[in-house]
Structure 1
Amino acid sequence: MSAALLTGLFLTTPVQAESLGQGLTRLVGKIQRNWKPDCKRPGVAEVNIVLKFTLAPNGHVSEGPEWVKPRVEPVWVDVAESALAAFKQGEPYTDLPQGLYNVPIEVSFNAHRACARD
């Protein structure tokens, strides 16, 4: 996993930015711990999946998750399904700053990096 991106969010203070950054790190870490792509399968290391979702204040998904720019190759589909499963397994996401709820978030699942950590 590599990155998270917030869209449609305006930060007014450095404290808000730091709090949201720490919250994103916790969110990505929780998903990452659940994500286990099949690293022995040929082609997996080249896959990079981006999921887009919105979380409600109760920590559950209110929109998505959806795979951004889906592909049809079986290895990509399988890695995307494992990323979706890892995301759903982590619900609810209740330990986040309020600024991370009700805004679209994109998380990148980089199989090369995930496989390198194993």
Structure 2
Amino acid sequence: RGKRGLMGEAAGRLADRVIVTTDDPRTEPLSDIMDEIEAGYRRTGRATEGELWRIPDRSEAIAAALKMAGPGDVVILAGKGHERTIAYERGEYPWSDYAVAAGILRDLGYQQGDDLVY
């Protein structure tokens, strides 16, 4: 919980575009979590429209990031990494950022080896 603002600050300093999304909200309102991350982002002085998006559904957020990316761009999916579940108030559910991203890339017509690393 204490790292949310720091993550937002790091994203504000280093990323051209930032998407804030779900990462194990458990019983906490997702809007509160996203507010803390966005506050850190805003502390960097970044406030331009079109640089930060709040997309609560993690699958939709990953899809948006991959669709926004152009040649030479790097998309970093942070927060879940090696984890195999996502936790909500009702329990934990199977999850893989890798599987979601790979499926979206396939749907977009990419194949592994098309100058992609995933």
TM-score normalised over the length of structure 1: 0.25
- Higher relative CO (CA 8 A, sep ≥ 6), structure 1 or 2? 1
Higher relative strand content: 1
The alignment's TM-score, normalised by the length of structure 2, stands at 0.25
